[in-house]
Structure 1
Amino acid sequence: MNSLRTKFYKDKANGKFMGVCAGIADYTGIDILWARIGMLVLMWLSGGVVFMAYLALGILAENKPSGMYADRREEKFWQGVRQSPSRTAREVRADFRDIDRRLAAVEAYYVSSNPRLSDEIEKLR
């Protein structure tokens, strides 16, 4: 597993204050607005404990590397890996089984005796 894409980073490019809420949103795959609202509610309910944790994360967490994901699809994939590695592995296996099934169908079509294809090949000779 690629540890660069599975660890928490603060995201200063999309962040407002220290990039912690943007990092949480990127890490979990939730919308950044919900991360910010959740953080405000937790700060209000906790009486300052969550604010101290927020500051600690803002100071200790590394900045998100630029160009970490090639595209949006890759970003969603890695968010899925972080959320549920076993489910992501099942999805990848299912994708490979589907590719293998389709490839076998193509192979069977072209390798089997196909009289129409044979006739077309003979016409070209």
Structure 2
Amino acid sequence: MDRKFTLDRQNAKLMGVGSGLANYSGVDPLLVRLGLVLAVLVTGPIAIILYIATGWLASDR
């Protein structure tokens, strides 16, 4: 697998993490975003911290 995860700021709703994950995995962006919301509801601040860290550390290209 030679693909690399990148943020998708053109289709972003917040930081581009959800749309980047959708592009990387080939899943519909709505499902990824719903999964992220579910992760926040289940894990609370851990998912929020990981989301923000991914948004800061991942590259745009």
TM-score above 0.5: yes
Q: Give the percent of matched residue pairs that are identical in Structure 1 and Structure 2.
A: 38
Structure 2 residue 28 is matched with structure 1 residue 60: no
Segments of structure 2 that go 5 or more residues without pairing to the other structure are none
Larger RCO, structure (CA 8 Å, separation 6 or more): 2
**Post-superposition CA distance 1:35-72 (Å, at most 9, x none):** 000000001100110110000000000013xxxxxxxx
Q: 1:32 aligns with which of 29, 33, 46?
A: 29
Report what 2:5 is aligned to. Answer: 8
Superposition TM-score, scaled by structure 2 size = 0.94
Runs of 4+, deviation exceeding 4 Å: none
Letter in 2 for 1:30: V
Q: CA RMSD in A?
A: 1.2
Segments of structure 1 that go 5 or more residues without pairing to the other structure are 65-125
When you count helix as a share of all residues, which structure comes out higher? Answer: 1
**Post-superposition CA distance 1:63-118 (Å, at most 9, x none):** 13xxxxxxxxxxxxxxxxxxxxxxxxxxxxxxxxxxxxxxxxxxxxxxxxxxxxxx
Provide the aligned length of Structure 1 versus Structure 2: 61
Cα separation, 2, equivalents of 1:25 and 1:47: 22
